[in-house]
């Protein structure tokens, strides 16, 4: 099953991958440990070509990433990454020294402002802070609240709080003591693990403890229970990013083979748990564009490729209707006027791989009829601006056709072939019509599920092209179009195959106007596109669980001079753009100065879009249809309109088998343990 998520749409974290001992920071602002957003280090790494850390005995990785676990932007459950646990052990090669600034050499920078003093970490893996809609003309903006975790009452528990950052910036002391109206404790014992996906959706905060999933909104004195959970029937929930007061939850059914859908209003703090809608099996779920309805597909037949697509207004079961049958990979156009889906999906055998494909159709939204055939034998697709779409189709042993359709209502006269036969997969798209894709793929070590790709950019009309890198040197999970549509940000992985070591992991920005590449960060662990610049974390120290946090403004897509925001900051960060052009972070383990801090205003003004966090991650995704079944992550849905929610994709087998890991007590990080 699939649900739209608060996984940060623009940040990229380097999952390392290739035996460097990096733990990945997925969506969540630097840490994507699904226990509570608290980071766990990659266990010491070696330089061998492998898919993770080499075990505790090795030295720490060269530039470990900003957090642990992985997920893809725009989907709860994700399609890239190793779930919520530590990266798997690597092998071969010699030890690589840890990087980063030592704690003693990085006291709190005087340019930053303390929000809360004391041991604390930001929550994750979703947005750590609220994002309210733009206020009406002349109205004051709502206060910004952020979630943190702090030491619990005993050494084996962690407590979760929400803090009013707006009041803190105005000079109001935040103590988190009993009675502090600007720091509210939501749970004294955050006893969940990788299945939990804490985060804000608009102003709704979704969080979990050992017994239930909850929602909280500003003005409430406590969370509202959404649905109960157990070790064998965990839950994942979302709310509309548009801030409509509804919620959706998906819960694994009693058989462990599918999911049940729940949806309802959460307009008030008091209220019953969410009512059931119906079982969806392995289908997908999303909110309607206006947040008032639930869109979902039902697939109750094992190994069936097609699903039955339905919709209803939340709270009105009589409005439920079937939209289409035998479809999959459904979404809607960027202007939300049309449904898009693959009809009559089949598996095509190519070089021993089963490649799922179907007929791309478009239909008026919400009616769903009449459906128009846009393109046959489509493997993957993504909406561009308005009613345009790009697809990979007609799979062969050579690859696929890359095509763009300018108007899905008239596909026969508006289709452009951008690259025939040899395109392997989409990486990213934007509303301006830029398409980032690849036609080469390399597996450095056949014994490890890590891949590198080339990168190519083309506009939807085929008039402009840029070979970002002709070599298979790009990490596929961390590449993306810069939100201003001026360039491509990606991570270059250079390997010395003779010595069997990775020699560099550099953040690169390639400007599209001249197709020139610029290194913006050496040995990068993660970066966040804030539209006007890139926040990045490098100098990762996995022993300290810290990374140096810096910001580099962009000029026409090219990086300018970088500024260090804070040395040896904790892995989890939160870019507060677009409404507040600053970054929130924590520092811990010092003799003095521990706490939550906010940076000065980032250069180049207030961005127009929400931040996009990228994680460097080349771990194979079992559910991907890209690269003809070679297992690369599917295209991010961050900028393509609808994002669908399939809870527990990354850990379904473990949940189904009743793994002891599921919903065990949170492993308390050393920095949060009470003496």
CB contact at 8 A, 160 and 123: yes
Q: Of 415 and 641, which is predicted with more confidence? A: 415
Residue 58 has pLDDT above 60, yes or no: no
Backbone Cα Rg of the chain: 23
- The Cα-based distances of 260 to 55, 237, 580 in angstroms read 38, 12, 38
Q: Using CA atoms, how far apart are residues 389 and 386, in angstroms rounded to an integer?
A: 9
CB contact at 8 A, 5 and 74: yes
What's the maximum distance between 2 C-alpha atoms anywhere in the chain? 71
Residue 83: pLDDT band (50, 70, 90) is: very low
Q: Using CA atoms, how far apart are residues 286 and 276, in angstroms rounded to an integer?
A: 15
Residue range 356-380: average pLDDT?
A: 97
Residue 143: pLDDT band (50, 70, 90) is: very high
Residues in the chain: 675
Predicted local distance difference test score (pLDDT) of residue 13 = 61
Closest C-alpha among 20, 21, 42 to residue 31: 42
| 3-state SS, residue 128 | coil
Closest C-alpha among 510, 408, 499 to residue 460: 408
Residue-wise pLDDT for 475-520, tens only, equals 998 999 998 889 999 999 998 888 888 899 999 999 999 999 999 9
Both structure tokens of 657: 């088998």
β-strand partners of 570: 546
Predicted local distance difference test score (pLDDT) of residue 95 = 33
Residue 587 has pLDDT above 70, yes or no: yes
Residue 645: pLDDT band (50, 70, 90) is: low
Q: Kindly give, in sequence order, each residue whose CB lies less than 8 Å from that of residue 651, ignoring residues fewer than 6 positions away.
A: 83, 84, 194, 195, 662
Q: Residue 556, class by beta-carbon neighbours within 10 Å (0-12 exposed, 13-18 middle, 19+ buried)?
A: exposed
CB contact at 8 A, 663 and 234: yes
Q: Of 25 and 591, which is predicted with more confidence? A: 591
β-strand partners of 584: 574, 598
Q: Residue 583, class by beta-carbon neighbours within 10 Å (0-12 exposed, 13-18 middle, 19+ buried)?
A: buried
Residue-wise pLDDT for 595-627, tens only, equals 999 999 998 644 445 566 554 443 322 222 223
The pairing of strands 516-521 and 583-587 is: unpaired
Q: Kindly give, in sequence order, each residue whose CB lies less than 8 Å from that of residue 318, ignoring residues fewer than 6 positions away.
A: none
Q: Residue 487, class by beta-carbon neighbours within 10 Å (0-12 exposed, 13-18 middle, 19+ buried)?
A: buried
DSSP states of 324-367: EEEEEEEEE-TTSSEEEEEEEEEEEEETTEEEEEEEEEEEETTT
β-strand partners of 529: 612
Q: How many other C-beta atoms can be found within 10 angstroms of the C-beta atom of residue 104?
A: 9
β strands within 80-198, DSSP E = 113-117, 121-122, 145-151, 158-164, 183-187
Residue-wise pLDDT for 148-179, tens only, equals 999 888 877 889 999 999 999 999 999 999 99
> How high does pLDDT run on average in the chain?
78
Residue 551 has pLDDT above 60, yes or no: yes
DSSP states of 394-462: S--SS-EEEEEES-TTSGGGSEEEEEEEEE-EEEEE-TTSEEEEES-EE-S-TTS-B-EEEEEEEETTS
CB contact at 8 A, 342 and 375: no
Q: Kindly give, in sequence order, each residue whose CB lies less than 8 Å from that of residue 522, ignoring residues fewer than 6 positions away.
A: 504, 506, 507, 538
Tell me how many helices (H) and strands (E) the chain has. 2, 42
Q: Using CA atoms, how far apart are residues 77 and 3, in angstroms rounded to an integer?
A: 9
CB contact at 8 A, 429 and 481: yes
């Amino acid at each position: 099953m699939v649900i739209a998520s608060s996984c940060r749409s623009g940040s990229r974290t380097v999952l390392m991958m290739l035996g460097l001992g990096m733990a990945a920071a997925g969506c969540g602002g630097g840490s994507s440990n699904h226990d509570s957003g608290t980071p766990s280090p990659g266990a010491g790494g070696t330089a061998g070509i492998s898919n993770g850390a080499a075990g505790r005995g090795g030295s720490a990785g060269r530039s470990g990433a900003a957090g642990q676990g992985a997920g893809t932007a725009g989907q709860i459950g994700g399609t890239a990454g190793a779930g919520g646990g530590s990266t798997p052990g690597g092998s071969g090669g010699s030890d690589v020294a840890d990087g980063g600034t030592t704690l003693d050499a990085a006291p709190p920078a005087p340019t930053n402002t303390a929000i809360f003093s004391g041991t604390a970490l930001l929550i994750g893996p979703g947005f750590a802070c609220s994002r309210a809609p733009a206020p009406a003309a002349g109205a004051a903006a709502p206060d910004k609240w952020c979630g943190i975790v702090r030491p619990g009452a005993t050494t084996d528990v962690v407590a979760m709080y929400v803090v009013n950052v707006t009041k803190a910036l105005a000079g109001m002391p935040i103590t988190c003591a009993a009675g502090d109206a600007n720091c509210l404790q939501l749970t004294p014992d955050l006893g969940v693990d990788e299945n939990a996906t804490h985060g804000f959706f608009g102003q709704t905060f979704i969080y979990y403890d050992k017994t239930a999933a909850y929602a909280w909104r500003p003005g409430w004195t406590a969370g509202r229970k959404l649905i109960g959970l157990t070790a064998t029937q965990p839950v994942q929930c979302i709310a509309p990013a548009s801030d409509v007061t509804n919620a959706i939850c998906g819960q694994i059914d009693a058989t462990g083979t599918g999911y049940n859908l729940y949806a309802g209003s959460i307009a008030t703090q008091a209220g019953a748990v969410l009512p059931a809608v119906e079982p969806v099996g392995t289908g997908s779920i999303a909110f309607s564009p206006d947040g008032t309805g639930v869109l979902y597909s039902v697939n109750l037949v094992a190994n069936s490729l097609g699903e039955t697509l339905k919709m209803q207004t939340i709270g009105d079961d009589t409005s439920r209707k079937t939209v289409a049958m035998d479809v999959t990979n459904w979404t809607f156009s960027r202007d939300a006027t049309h449904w898009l889906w693959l009809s009559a999906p089949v598996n095509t055998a190519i070089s021993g791989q089963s490649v799922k494909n179907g007929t791309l159709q478009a239909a008026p939204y919400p009616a769903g009829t009449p459906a128009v055939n846009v393109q046959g034998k489509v493997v993957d697709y993504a909406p561009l601006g308005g009613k345009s779409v790009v697809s990979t189709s007609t799979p062969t042993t050579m690859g696929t056709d890359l095509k763009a359709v300018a108007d899905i209502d008239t596909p026969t006269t508006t289709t452009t072939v951008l690259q025939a036969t040899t395109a392997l997969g989409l990486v990213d798209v934007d509303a301006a019509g830029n398409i980032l894709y690849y036609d080469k793929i390399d597996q450095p070590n056949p014994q490890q599920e890590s891949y590198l790709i080339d990168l190519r950019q083309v506009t939807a009309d085929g008039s402009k092209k840029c070979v970002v890198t002709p070599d298979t040197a790009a990490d596929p999970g961390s590449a993306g179009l810069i939100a201003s549509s001026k360039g491509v940000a990606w991570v270059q992985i250079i390997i010395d195959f003779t010595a069997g070591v990775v020699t560099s992991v550099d953040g690169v920005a390639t400007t599209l106007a001249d197709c020139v590449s610029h290194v913006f960060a050496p040995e990068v662990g993660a970066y966040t596109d804030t539209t006007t610049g890139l926040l990045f974390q490098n100098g990762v120290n996995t022993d300290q669980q810290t990374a140096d946090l810096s910001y580099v403004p962009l000029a026409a897509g090219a990086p300018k001079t970088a500024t260090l925001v804070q040395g040896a900051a904790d892995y989890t960060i939160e870019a507060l753009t677009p409404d507040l052009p600053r970054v929130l972070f924590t520092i811990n383990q010092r003799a003095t100065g521990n706490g939550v801090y906010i940076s000065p205003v980032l250069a180049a003004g207030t961005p127009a879009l929400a931040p996009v966090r990228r994680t460097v991650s080349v771990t194979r995704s079992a559910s991907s249809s890209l690269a003809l079944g070679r297992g690369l992550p599917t295209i991010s849905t961050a900028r393509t309109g609808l994002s669908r929610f399939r809870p527990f994709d990354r850990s379904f087998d473990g949940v189904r088998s009743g793994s002891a890991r599921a919903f065990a007590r949170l492993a308390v990080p050393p920095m949060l343990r009470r003496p």
